[in-house]
A and B are shown apart, each in its own frame.
Chain A
Amino acid sequence: MKILVLAKHVPDTETVIKIVSGGKSIDEADFKYMVNPCDEYAMEEAIRTQEKFKGESVVISVGPARSQETIRKGLAMGIDRGVWINTEGFSSALDSYSVALAISKVVAEEKPDLIFAGLNTTDEGAGNVGPMVAEFARIPSLINISKIEWQNEGKALRAFRDVEGGIVEVYDAQLPLLIAPHQNLNDPRFPSLPGIMKAKKKPIAEKKAADLITDKAKVEVRQYKLPPEKAPGKIYKGKPVEEMVAEVVKLLRSEAKVI
């Protein structure tokens, strides 16, 4: 079985956002980066699936040079090789369409049986790229899967998709397809020391974004803005609890008008 994993190198969740040049850009100078958390579940599931059915696993990341750190972590966890789509020097706008288009070219070349993608990212957060890549390949996308039961020696599976309000859609599906894991699907492993050593020798193929992104972005960002500053709230302490609660409930009705 050939398995592809999509992973993104993203700013750390604690990052403070500073908007500069009149809202035209975000100052990334002090950013620290990490593997996008949802993508770790995707990598873990790829490795577990490969452990079950053998074959090959490949992790793909789109971005500047630092994206190789995310690839390297995947390799240290146990993925076989990496593909880095280098966006350095790519000066046109990039949207989820452009990224999915670039990845779709690699998918067409690699012809995977199975693709794992993170549910969404902590930066853009849309979760568009996974479904878009599946659409380019015309394979199904099963998003937010909390359980997989393999059937027919890895040619088919039953997948449990958590929807909302506790509703679960149970899918029977044939490969090839794309899966975005739910955080309950697995517990991502930490790379072992031998894993980290081995990863240094595993290959990462570089591709240029400009060669793969053959169309203009469909969405452009005009401006960034910070959310409006909230006025300090009314905080109650030291009084009898009955009194404080009654006061807050009164204000929820008369001032906030939410009850």
Chain B
Amino acid sequence: MSHKVLVYAEVRNGKLKSTAGETLAEAKKMLGGKLENLHAVLLGEGCEQHAKTLATFGASKIYVVDAPETNTYQGEPTIQALDQIIKKNNYTIIVGSASPTGRDFFPRLAIRNNGAMLTDVVSFSLEGDSVVADIPMYLGKCAKLAVSQSAIAFITLRPNVRPAEVVDSNAQPTIEKFSCQFDVSKFTAKVVEVRKGASERPDLTEANIIISGGRAMASKDNFKILFECADVVHGSVGASRAAVDSGYAPYDMQVGQTGKTVNPSLYIACGISGSIQHLSGMRTSKCIVAINTDADAPIFQKADYGIIADLFQVVPILTKEFKKIIE
């Protein structure tokens, strides 16, 4: 049996998310580089503009669903559209990002197709016909190697675990327009408005560089020095639960067990002690820098580099040094 792979390429605010390239790259690796059965799907009016980018990442066919019902993600229409494409074309492996959107509907799609669900995986591959995935559990304290027992597998890949790969920068997309027959009687929850975030910075889960502040930040205003530093390196700013609970930062910035799981190349923890709740959200960062006055803070055990000093002295100098390097 040879697998047919469909990648859900997420578009938000008219922009293709970087996770599309990452998921296509991991799926391509799983297929041993063979692109014939590696396809992708784009949803929403005007989405066709992203087809070329997906082709450069190796998608050999791209479904374009320009149904207005899917312009904004709202659950059921997206699920129905993908469900129809899967069933009509007999896809056996469906891959998406473990983004809030992917995690919202992939489990439902898996049930609708009687398939296996592999959520928030950090890598996946084939052994014979079986899909095998590496999935962190217990807040990242261990991982499991999970094997699909079903003929059809649904996978969400954690953002940022691998880079995108351009296969052919001149590739022209092969597009198949797909029109859905929606069962509108199931549309009992509808999005009436999307409120945009205040920030132009990348979302934490997709940021390449994150600088985070803890309780030691001592006030909301003090976070300004972190934003200044992040802006130099096009990074985002995070916070520990202690900082969020103290009202220094909004919940949206919280990294950790009840906040976001992040996976940047560089994570800079400022005045964060490193509780298990926080570590669980950032321990897979490729490089961790800890800045803290307390030499016994557990964060130093996880850090690649540590500076035992006052963050209010360190961060402005760090910003200056980053500027030197970037310029």
16 residue pairs A–B, Cβ–Cβ below 8 Å = A37-B257, A38-B258, A96-B117, A127-B107, A132-B111, A142-B189, A165-B203, A173-B188, A173-B189, A174-B188, A222-B147, A225-B145, A227-B140, A233-B300, A235-B305, A238-B308
Interface status of A216 (Cβ within 8 A of chain B) = yes
Cross-chain contact B145 with A252 (CB below 8 angstroms): no
Interface status of B1 (Cβ within 8 A of chain A) = no
Q: Of the candidates A216, A232, A238, A245, which one forms a contact with B149 in the assembled complex, judged by CB atoms under 8 Å apart?
A: A216
Which of A131, A162, A217 is the most central at the interface, judged by chain B CB atoms within 10 Å of its CB?
A131
**Majority-rule SS of B interface residues:** mixed
Residues of B within 8 A of A49 (CB): none
Q: Give the contact stretch, choosing among A52-60, A81-89, A133-141, A197-205.
A: A133-141
User: B residues engaging A (CB < 8 A)?
Assistant: 12, 72-76, 99-101, 103-105, 107-108, 110-112, 115-120, 132, 135-150, 186, 188-199, 201-205, 209, 233, 250-252, 257-258, 265-266, 276-277, 280, 283-284, 286-290, 295, 300-310, 313-314, 317-318, 321-322, 325
Residue of B nearest to A177 (CB): B189
Residues of B within 8 A of A143 (CB): 100, 103-104
Q: Of the candidates A122, A169, A172, A236, which one forms a contact with B308 in the assembled complex, judged by CB atoms under 8 Å apart?
A: A236
Residues of A within 8 A of B196 (CB): 166-167
Q: Of the candidates B104, B188, B197, B283, which one forms a contact with A227 in the assembled complex, judged by CB atoms under 8 Å apart?
A: B283
Residues of B within 8 A of A258 (CB): 209, 265-266, 286-287
Residue of A nearest to B152 (CB): A218
Measured in the bound complex, the distance between the Cα atoms of B191 and A232 in whole Å is 48
Cross-chain contact B295 with A237 (CB below 8 angstroms): yes
**Which bracket fits the contact residues of A?**
35 or more
Chain A 208-235: CB-based contact to B (< 8 A → 1; otherwise 0): 0000000011111111111100101111
Q: How far is the CB of A221 from chain B (nearest CB, A)?
A: 5
Interface status of A29 (Cβ within 8 A of chain B) = no
Measured in the bound complex, the distance between the Cα atoms of B252 and A184 in whole Å is 10
